[in-house]
Amino acid sequence: MFSLIKNLILTDTGKDAVIVSIGTFINIVAGGLFFILTPRILGPEDYGLFSTVIATGLMAASIANFGIDTGILKFAKLGSSDFNKILSLAFKSYIFLGFLVTLIGIIFAHFLASFLDQPQITALLRIAFFGNMFILLTNFYVASLQARHQFAKASIVNIVSNVSRLTVLALSAYFFTVGLYFLTIIFFSATLVSAIAGKFLMPFKYEKNNKADLLNFHKFNVWIALSLIISTVPYENYLLLKIAGPIQTGFYAAPFKVLSFAHQFGGNLTRVFASRFSSFETNQKAVNYAFKAALPVSIFIAVLVFLIIISAPIIHIIFGANFEDSVIVFRILTAGFIFFIASTIPSSIILYHFGKSKISFLITVIRYLAFVVLLLLLVPSIQATGAAIAFSSSEFLSFILMTAYLIYQIKSSRTSKDL
């Protein structure tokens, strides 16, 4: 077993996975400390409002993203002569879509706040919509570096924002009282620092593009874009806030944010897999690589299982007695993240090897339809716990659908060859 792990680490995939794991770990520490301190500073009620504002800003960035970073990973391959052309096209698209979403968001922020019965967060929502521009620029540089297999530099770009955010929070909390508005500004403005770092680490030569280039690039991205629009709406935050109130939203959002390191790790691991799966000419090569990729995925799943076991002391130590109701929520959410991590391999094969972005979109639609239905059924009665059950159930459904389709696709390919 030890020799198997050693041999895997010595491969390019193993080295990249180790770099991604180290970078993610540092991000977890820096970003995690920020989201450990904020619930303690704000309390469950204000943290419920804060988490909803943050989720809205991230949603805006994902909508404006339009699947562009996935397109970068798919087409801007290492050594490609079109590398600068793809990056130029992606950068131009990010700027245009970012300004468009920002403008629409600022205009409609008041309507969203009123719908949630929280008109006092209108200004905070406007800050969030404006901040999506900095998140987009960060995503651009991270994806560009990862496309060139410069995973260490890509990790640095992400780390810079989290370290800056934590440093400003620590200094500010020492000298004066920190509140909801100031924390919101800190969160979004820190991503400007990471965008500047990305510009320094990933210089590229801007090239003009024609209309045909634009259409070909976004033809692949469109299904990813639709998936992102569906998947990044913070349904649980909005429904909890409107139906159960900000305190229950805080009980759900606090453990979810702590577990977001699983999203980071899963997303970064998928990007390690992306260029490999997209380069394989045969299904057998993809399957063989999937078995190698299963080891880091399995190790991370074991970590999540351990977190379920020690969930009670984790919540008490991190958030204190005010978040006692978050223990059961943490356990249920962790189970959901296990299925999310397990899905990284089948989703990568479907998207990058088979190029079936439409299938990814259809599975996303089914997953979120189930999620919303379960939220509507469970949140009115069991509130934050119901939202956690809805999340984990929908992640399990997504994993089953991806795995089933992958098996079907591989068997179909073998049958067609036999004929």
- Looking at 75-79, 247-251, 297-301, 361-365, which range is the least confident one? 75-79
> What value does the mean pLDDT take over residues 308-337?
86
- Asked whether residue 415 carries a pLDDT value surpassing 90, the answer given is no
More confident residue, 16 or 103: 103
Contacts of 15 (CB under 8 A, 6+ apart): 9
Domain ranges in the chain? 2-413
How far apart, in whole angstroms, are the C-alpha atoms of residue 128 and residue 123? Answer: 9
pLDDT confidence bin for 191, thresholds 50/70/90? confident
- Asked whether residue 207 carries a pLDDT value surpassing 90, the answer given is no
For residues 73 and 275, is the Cβ–Cβ distance under 8 A? yes
> What value does the mean pLDDT take over residues 152-167?
78
How far apart, in whole angstroms, are the C-alpha atoms of residue 77 and residue 87? Answer: 11
More confident residue, 249 or 178: 249
User: What's the chain's average pLDDT?
Assistant: 78
pLDDT confidence bin for 396, thresholds 50/70/90? very high
Q: What percent of the chain is predicted at pLDDT more than 70?
A: 75
- Asked whether residue 388 carries a pLDDT value surpassing 90, the answer given is yes
- Asked whether residue 418 carries a pLDDT value surpassing 60, the answer given is no
pLDDT confidence bin for 350, thresholds 50/70/90? confident
- Asked whether residue 76 carries a pLDDT value surpassing 70, the answer given is no
- Asked whether residue 378 carries a pLDDT value surpassing 80, the answer given is yes
pLDDT confidence bin for 402, thresholds 50/70/90? confident
Q: What is the pTM assigned to this prediction?
A: 0.72
pLDDT confidence bin for 393, thresholds 50/70/90? very high
pLDDT confidence bin for 274, thresholds 50/70/90? low
Token couple for 226: 């639709």
> What value does the mean pLDDT take over residues 241-269?
81
Residue 404: which of 347, 356, 364, 361 has the closest Cα? Answer: 347
CA 285 centroid distance within chain: 28
